[in-house]
C-alpha cells in the first residue's frame, strides 16, 4: 500500500474569550478557516501526545500569564465537529489586550529575509505582501492614486514598498518593485511610482486585458522571543524563499504586535500545512 498524504492542518489566529475545564478555552477565530465563519466563537484545545513530557494546554499558559483578551496561534489545528479546534501547539503572541494592539493581516504572503551574515542562522526581518489590499490598475495615474493610500497604511506597520506585477497570457511574468523613501508624503509617493514604472511597462499595462496587480508591502523586524524566533528560523531553513532579487513567497495570516507606532512581526506561519509550505511567485498567489 502507498503512503497516505499528510492531512491538511491550519495555523489559526484567535483571541481568548474564556476558560473551560481540562485545559480547554473558548476563542474567537480571527483568520479564515474552511468550514468556520470569521469571528466564530469555538472551544479550543491541545491534542494529547504521549511523547510530550508536559502538555502545554491553555491551563499551562494561564499559569504563565495568558489572560482573557490575549492573542494566540493555534498551530497545526484541525476542526473536530464535536471538540471544536484541536491543535498541536499554542503560541502566545499577547498575554492580554493591555499589552498593546495585536494586528492580523489576513490573506497575505511573506518573504523571510536571509540571515544578515553567513556566520548565523538567525533570521531577523521579513517582508509581508498584503494580498487582500492588492488592486489591479491599467495606467500610471491609477497606480499613483492607489499607491498613496497603500503606502499610508503599510507605513504604520513597517517600511513600506510596492510591487507591480502580472502574468501575461504568454506565460511571461513581469515584476516591478517600487521603492518608497522613508517618511514619504503624497508627492514623494507619486514621484516614486512614476519613476518606478518605465514607459514600456506602462504601455504593456495599458494594453493588458485586466490590468496589472499593484501590491502593498512592508518590511519589519521579526519576533525576538527565543522560542518563536526558533520556529521562524526553522521556517526559513525549510522553505526556499530565494534571494532578494528573486523572492518567493508563502501564504500567511501575518500577525503583528507592539505599540501604535512600533510593530514587530509576531508570526508568519503558512496558512495551511503542508499545502502552503511550497513557495510561489507573488502573482501566482494573487491568481495571475
CATH 2.40.50 in the chain is located at 1-99
CB 162 within 8 A of CB 180: yes
Closest Cα to residue 72, out of 148, 129, 11, 23?
A: 11
Give the pTM: 0.94
Reported as a single tens digit per residue, the pLDDT across 40-84 is 999 999 998 777 667 899 999 999 999 999 999 999 999 999 999
Neighbours of 110 (CB within 10 A): 27
End-to-end Cα spacing for the chain: 38
1-99: what fold?
A: OB fold (Dihydrolipoamide Acetyltransferase, E2P) (2.40.50)
Reported as a single tens digit per residue, the pLDDT across 5-48 is 678 999 999 999 999 999 999 999 999 999 999 999 999 999 98
Amino acid at each position: 500500500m502507498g503512503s497516505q498524504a499528510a492531512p491538511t492542518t491550519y495555523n489559526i489566529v484567535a483571541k481568548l474569550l474564556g476558560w473551560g475545564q481540562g485545559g480547554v478555552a473558548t476563542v474567537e477565530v480571527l483568520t479564515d478557516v474552511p468550514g468556520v465563519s470569521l469571528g466564530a466563537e469555538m472551544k479550543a484545545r491541545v491534542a494529547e501526545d504521549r511523547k510530550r513530557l508536559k502538555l502545554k494546554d491553555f491551563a499551562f499558559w494561564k499559569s504563565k500569564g495568558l489572560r482573557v483578551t490575549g492573542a494566540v496561534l493555534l498551530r497545526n489545528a484541525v476542526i473536530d465537529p464535536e471538540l471544536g479546534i484541536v491543535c498541536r501547539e499554542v503560541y502566545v503572541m499577547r498575554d492580554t489586550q493591555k499589552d498593546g494592539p495585536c494586528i492580523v493581516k489576513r490573506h497575505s504572503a511573506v518573504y523571510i529575509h536571509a540571515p544578515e551574515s553567513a556566520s548565523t542562522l538567525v533570521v531577523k526581518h521579513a517582508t509581508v505582501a498584503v494580498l487582500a489590499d492588492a488592486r489591479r490598475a491599467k495606467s500610471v495615474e491609477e497606480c499613483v492614486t492607489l499607491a498613496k493610500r497603500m503606502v499610508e497604511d503599510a507605513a504604520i506597520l513597517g517600511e513600506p514598498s510596492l510591487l507591480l506585477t502580472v502574468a501575461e497570457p504568454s506565460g511571461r511574468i513581469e515584476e516591478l518593485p517600487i521603492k518608497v523613501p522613508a517618511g514619504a508624503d503624497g508627492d514623494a509617493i507619486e514621484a516614486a511610482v512614476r519613476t518606478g514604472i518605465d514607459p514600456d511597462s506602462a504601455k504593456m499595462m495599458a494594453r493588458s486585458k485586466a490590468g496589472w496587480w499593484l501590491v502593498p508591502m512592508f518590511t519589519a523586524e521579526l519576533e525576538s522571543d527565543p522560542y518563536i524566533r526558533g520556529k521562524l528560523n526553522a521556517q526559513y531553513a525549510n522553505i526556499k524563499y530565494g534571494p532578494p532579487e528573486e523572492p518567493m513567497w508563502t501564504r500567511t495570516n501575518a500577525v503583528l504586535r507592539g505599540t501604535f507606532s512600533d510593530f514587530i512581526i509576531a508570526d508568519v506561519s503558512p496558512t495551511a500545512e503542508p499545502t502552503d509550505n511550497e513557495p510561489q511567485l507573488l502573482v501566482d498567489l494573487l491568481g495571475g
